Every structure is written in C-alpha cells, then in structure tokens.
C-alpha cells in the first residue's frame, strides 16, 4: 500500500499520541522489539505497546515477519513503513536527464534516463524529466499521487525559489522557473538545487564522505563542477554560487572534459557518451595519446581543486560524477599535481555512487526535509539560505 502525504489530521494525531519518540527510534534504528523501543524512549512497556499499535493503525509502522527457522515464539519486531510514501529525484543534466524513485528511507526502487543535448529546447527537457519519472513510477507500480516530493538538481546557479539564474551549460536555461514548471506536472512539493551540491550531499549521506565535516566534491564527467561540505553541511554560499571555481579564468573547466572525449585513442564512431570509457581504458593500457589526454585533464582539474583546497584545507577531496569509475587513472595524477602546490594534502577518494549521484542526492535532500517537516527529526543536508 502506497499512500499520499500525511494530512494535518494524521500529524496532529501523531503528535497527540506523544509518539514522536517511539516513531523516531523506529525511524532511526528499526526494526526493534517493543522492549528495545521502551529502552530507547524511557516509556513503560505497556505505553510503548499502545503507541506502536496506534502507529501501525495509522500506517507509519509495520510488524516485521519473524525470520524463517526461528525456534520458539520470537519477540515481535516493528519497523518504520518506508513504503508509506515515495520521492522522485531528477537530474536535469546537459546531456542526460535521469530520474529515480525512492521510498521514505531514500532506497531507490527504479531509475531511468533520457538522452538530451545542450540544444534540447526547455520544454522538451522538462518533458524528458516527466517521462523519466513516469517510467520510474511504472516500474515501481506507483502513481504520481504517491509522490510526496519531487526534488531536482540542475547545472548552473539556482536561487532558493528554484529559478535558474545563471547556466553556462544549457543555452536558454537561465530564467526557467523549475519549481513552477515541475509544479504543473506534479501536485506535491517541488525542490530545486544545483546538481553538484546534491551529488556532494549524496556523498556526505551515503557515499565516501560519510561522517566527514569538511570536504571538496569534484563533479567530474561530461561537465566539470564542484561543491563544498563545510561543518558537515553542503555550503550554498550567500547567493548560491559556492563551488563555481571552475568558471575562474585560470581553472576554465568549461572545456576540460574535451581532453577526454576528443582523445585520438577513442575509436571512430563511438558515441560521445561512451568516449571517456575508451580513453580511460587506453590510458590503463599505456596508450601515449590517452595518457597525454588524461594528463592535460588532470592539469586543468588540479588548478581549480588546489585553489579550493588552499582556501578551505578540507579533510577530503571526492572525485565524483561520470568519470569516478576511472579513479584508478585520475586520482594518482591529481594527487601528484596537488602535492606540488598544496601546503597540506587532503585525502583523495573516488565516489562509488556513480552517475545517479545527483538524483540520489535529490532524494536524500527530500527525505531530510520530510523528516524535519513531518517528524521533527534533525534536518541534514544543505545549509539554509541566509
């Protein structure tokens, strides 16, 4: 059973029950037995049972089936019903539009992608996003009404209202009110953020930056971008322009990926979206042209990364985005360049989240917002606008 977002009445009942402590324990640490919930909340066991029963009735909590082969009568265990609601995460990219649909734990149930180009008109890019979400919903046997939030990331500077302010990658994209455009398609709340920032959030929540306070995230792929984690939160900047070091004239990341895509080691006829894989494979085999291309790419990447590192002195640099599976090729070269200039070397790690990182980050942000809004749980994520 999937269900619509909670109504005011449901929430008021949830609060009346004084059951947020019980709910929070099951949300964070479930499945749990009633005894374990009582221990965590300080409530008596009878009170705990009463609250859990009512949460089950409301559809927030469900009993877990005992493991097969259990001997005797096992204690009943309960968990948060993450399937009570669903979230769509969208990556409105320059060359690809991706979508994922997740449950309220952020567990991805379906993912789709649609090819676009920088020249794709705005209406068609939005329509591609709609089709991508629709495909996910079909695969997960869900309807639009089951979505509690649609969260999207896109390239460029996005204001807090969800309007694209500056966008170098997609002509005509600046000025688009994404909250309004997606709001015409989906009746749930819409959230919009910069793509690299959502990918950084995904790393912080479930990737290689988990538990790290200060990190620089490099979004390396067909486009090159960056985002910062400071004090455990993704840093927006005063006007949402933090991490845009790639547009600095000495970094000029706008065309850096061309070194990888236009490398002579890429066989003729290979489509652009597969070109990088060939270049990295050739570099692993010692192909001189591929090695030269990788070197030039890392040289340009290192200028911007070292500027961020020498500004912030982070604990960690994450190489994420579509090129992250080539961490074995890229990280040693990036490390060597950084060691030449940085006063203190941060650790370097390649992301393991892959190309879905933006859509997964979008979902993660929506989950954190929902937890904060409905359940009073501590919000994680991106520091609020000032």
Report the interface residues with a second copy, using CB under 8 A.
157, 166, 213-214, 228, 230-231, 235-245, 247-250, 303, 306-308, 310-315, 341, 343-344, 346, 383, 386
Q: Smallest gap, in angstroms, from Cβ of residue 200 to a second copy?
A: 13
Cα 48 to Cα 41: distance, rounded to the nearest angstrom: 8
Which DSSP string do the residues of 370-381 spell out, in sequence order? HHHHHH-PPP-S
CB of 276 to a second copy, least distance (A): 26
Nearer to a second copy, 137 or 303 (CB): 303
Q: Is 54 helix (H, G, I), strand (E, B) or coil?
A: helix
State the DSSP H helix or E strand holding residue 16, giving kind and residue range, or none if neither: helix 8-16
Q: Report the residue number, 139 or 310, with the smaller CB distance to a second copy.
A: 310
CA 64, 68, 74 angle in degrees (round to 5)?
A: 60
Using the minimum distance from each CB to a second copy, give the nearer residue, 141 or 313: 313
134/159 with CB nearer a second copy = 159
Put the strands of the sheet holding 316-320 in their side by side order: 233-234, 224-230, 215-220, 316-320, 347-350
Residue 334 CB, nearest distance to a second copy (Å)?
16
d(CA 228, CA 197): 7
Q: How far is the CB of 233 from a second copy (least distance, A)?
A: 9
Q: Which of 111, 113, 121 is nearest to 96 (CA)?
A: 113
Beta carbon nearer to a second copy, 73 or 344:
344
Closer to a second copy at the Cβ: 79 or 235? 235
Nearer to a second copy, 70 or 340 (CB): 340
Nearby residues of 105 by Cβ (< 8 Å), 6 or more positions away:
80, 82, 367
Of residues 83 and 233, the one with the C-beta less far from a second copy: 233
Least separation, in Å, of the C-beta of 352 and a second copy? 22
Annotate 137-155 with b (16+ C-beta within 10 A) or e (fewer): beebebebebbbbbbbbbb
Closest-CA residue to 222 (of 275, 296, 281): 275
Q: How far is the CB of 218 from a second copy (least distance, A)?
A: 12
Alpha-carbon gap, residue 14 to 177, rounded angstroms: 35
Nearer to a second copy, 45 or 248 (CB): 248
How far apart are alpha carbons 363 and 87 in whole angstroms?
6
Nearer to a second copy, 244 or 356 (CB): 244
- Distance in Å, CB of 252 to a second copy, minimum: 11
CB burial of 34-70 (b: ≥16 within 10 Å; e: otherwise) equals bebbbebbebeeeebbebbebbeebebbbeeeeeeee
In whole angstroms, how close is the CB of 310 to a second copy at the nearest point? 5
DSSP result, 321-338: STTGGGHHHHHHHHHHHH
250 alpha-carbon distance from chain centroid: 29
Any idea which residue has 């794709």 for tokens?
120
């Amino acid at each position: 059973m999937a269900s619509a977002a909670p109504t005011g009445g449901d929430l008021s009942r949830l609060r009346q029950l004084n059951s947020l402590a019980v709910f929070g324990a099951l949300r964070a640490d479930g499945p749990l037995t009633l005894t374990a919930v009582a221990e965590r909340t300080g409530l008596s066991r009878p009170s705990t049972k009463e609250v859990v029963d009512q949460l089950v009735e409301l559809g927030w909590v469900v009993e877990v089936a005992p493991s097969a082969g259990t001997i005797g009568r096992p204690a009943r265990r309960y968990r948060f019903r993450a399937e009570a609601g669903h979230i769509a995460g969208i990556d409105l990219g320059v060359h690809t539009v991706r979508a994922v649909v997740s449950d309220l734990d952020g567990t991805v149930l379906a993912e789709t992608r649609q090819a676009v180009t920088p020249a794709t008109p705005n209406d068609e890019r939005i329509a591609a996003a709609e089709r991508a979400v629709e495909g996910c919903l079909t695969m997960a046997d869900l309807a639009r009404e089951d979505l509690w939030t649609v969260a999207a990331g896109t390239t460029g500077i996005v204001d807090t209202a969800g309007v694209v302010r500056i966008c170098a990658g997609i002509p005509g994209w600046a000025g688009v009110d994404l909250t309004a455009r997606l709001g015409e398609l989906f009746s749930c709340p819409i959230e919009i953020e910069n793509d690299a920032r959502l990918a950084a959030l995904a790393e912080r929540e479930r990737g290689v930056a988990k538990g790290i306070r200060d990190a620089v995230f490099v979004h390396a792929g067909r486009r090159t971008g960056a985002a910062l984690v400071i004090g455990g939160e993704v840093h927006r900047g005063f006007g949402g322009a933090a991490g845009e070091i790639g547009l600095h004239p000495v970094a000029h990341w706008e065309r850096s990926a061309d070194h990888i895509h236009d490398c002579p080691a890429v066989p003729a006829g290979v489509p652009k979206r597969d070109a990088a894989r060939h270049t990295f494979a050739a570099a692993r085999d010692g192909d001189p042209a591929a090695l030269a291309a990788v070197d030039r790419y890392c040289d340009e990447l290192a200028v911007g990364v070292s500027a961020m590192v020498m500004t912030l002195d982070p604990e960690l640099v994450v190489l994420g985005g579509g090129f992250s599976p080539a961490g074995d090729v890229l990280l040693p070269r990036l490390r060597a360049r950084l060691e030449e200039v940085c006063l203190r070397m941060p650790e370097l790690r390649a992301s393991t989240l892959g190309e879905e990182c933006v859509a997964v980050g979008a979902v993660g942000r929506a989950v954190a917002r929902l937890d904060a809004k409905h359940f009073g749980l501590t919000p994680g994520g991106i520091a609020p606008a000032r």
